[in-house]
Amino acid sequence: MTSERGAEETRSPHSGVPAQPPYEVTLAQDFDRQGLYALRAAVAAHAAQLGLPDGRLNAITLIATGLATNAIRHGGGTGRLQMWRSDGAVHLQVTDDGPGMAQPDDAGLRPVPLSTPGGRGLWIVRQISDHVDITADHGTTVTVALKTSPEREETAQAPKRDG
């Protein structure tokens, strides 16, 4: 598990997230299947207010949708989303109370075969996030970070052509 600030904070007895966040949560929203549209709209608006560049608003909305959908499908039908800004990044965290996963550090590291239905959500999240942390002690908590500065390490750049 990769830790962000406050890793030594007191943990809630019901989840792996800090009982007293070490940061100021500026958006906290519970969700279920019927609330996905409103959740996406809230995430996009809030990310813009936190300083995420326009070019990354679609990315954070896609991330929120994928993580919330996973929480609904695999985590008991509901979840909680939190957002905050710290250390030059917008952070988004989705938590559910489901059974967790066996190997959270390996989840989404490799794409699944195209012939396999589903299983691409966490892989996509890892591709478009600057940082991903997954814990699955009691339920699953996925925390992602997207840098607010326009300079970002690109993993796939088009080759330069001479001429």
pLDDT at residue 7 greater than cutoff 50: no
Q: Residue 22: what pLDDT?
A: 59
User: Residue 96 falls within a domain, yes or no?
Assistant: yes
User: Residue 50 falls within a domain, yes or no?
Assistant: yes
Determine the structural domain holding residue 130 and report its residue range.
27-147
Residue whose structure tokens are 């890892």:
126
The total number of structural domains that make up the chain = 1
List, for residues 75-96, the tens digit of each pLDDT value: 999 999 999 999 899 999 999 9
Please say whether the beta carbons of 105 and 18 come within 8 A: no
Q: Residue 38: what pLDDT?
A: 97
**Rounded mean pLDDT, 18-24:** 57
pLDDT at residue 5 greater than cutoff 80: no
As a whole number, the mean pLDDT across the chain is 80
User: Residue 99 falls within a domain, yes or no?
Assistant: yes
Nearest alpha carbon to residue 75 among 142, 124, 11, 146:
142
Q: Residue 110: what pLDDT?
A: 79
pLDDT bucket at 21, cuts 50 / 70 / 90: low
User: Residue 97 falls within a domain, yes or no?
Assistant: yes
Q: What is the pTM (predicted TM-score) of this model?
A: 0.77
E-assigned strand segments in 15-162 = 27-32, 78-86, 89-96, 131-135, 140-147
Q: Residue 108: what pLDDT?
A: 73
User: Residue 22 falls within a domain, yes or no?
Assistant: no
Q: Residue 163: what pLDDT?
A: 46
List, for residues 107-152, the tens digit of each pLDDT value: 777 777 788 777 788 999 999 999 999 999 889 999 999 999 865 4
User: Residue 163 falls within a domain, yes or no?
Assistant: no
User: Residue 72 falls within a domain, yes or no?
Assistant: yes
User: Residue 162 falls within a domain, yes or no?
Assistant: no
Q: What is the CATH number of the domain that holds 40?
A: 3.30.565.10
